[in-house]
Amino acid sequence: MGTETELREKRDLRVRLRVAVDDFVNEIQESDFTFALVLLFMIALNLADFAFTSRTLGLGYKELNPIMKFLFLVDPVAAGVFKMALVASLSALAWALRHHRQMVVATLFAVGVYLDLLVYHLVGSLLFNGNR
């Protein structure tokens, strides 16, 4: 247990963080240009994920996503078309609903997932350097 001052400081920090996040989400929600940049960034991350995945599969690694695993087995081009079409369709839906806070938050969450995947691929590339 902390002192009353420490507890107050933690609460104040949480409040400041919540206000900062709310301001960030509001800015994206209110600016079509900013939201468009977020969507373009998400699409770019999706392309990067596909490129890294294709590369690692070519090195003999396994796809962890069961849907994409099936599609890559059927036809890698079909897997890429499916992946790009899915994200493009979801981006169009997100654009149509961009003034709804929940859609902005969901889109930012998706960007976070893609950033995690990018880090995963980059760390894997650095650690394994093409060696299994």
pTM of the model: 0.82
Q: How far apart are the first and last CA of the chain?
A: 47
41-104-20 Cα angle (round to 5):
95
pLDDT, tens digit (0-9, with 9 covering 90-100), for 18-37: 999 999 999 999 999 999 99
With beta carbons less than 8 A apart as the criterion, state whether 28 and 34 touch: yes
What is the structure's pLDDT at 10? 81
**Domain ranges across the chain:** 1-30, 31-128
Question: Could you give the angle at which helices 32-58 and 4-30 cross, rounded to 10 degrees?
Answer: 100
What is the structure's pLDDT at 132? 54
Which sign does the torsion angle of CA 83, 117, 21, 10 carry? positive
**Mean pLDDT, the chain cut into blocks of 10 residues (132 residues total):** 78 89 93 97 97 92 93 95 97 96 96 96 80 55
Report CA-CA distances (Å) from 96 to 12, 39, 130: 36, 12, 41
What is the structure's pLDDT at 39? 98
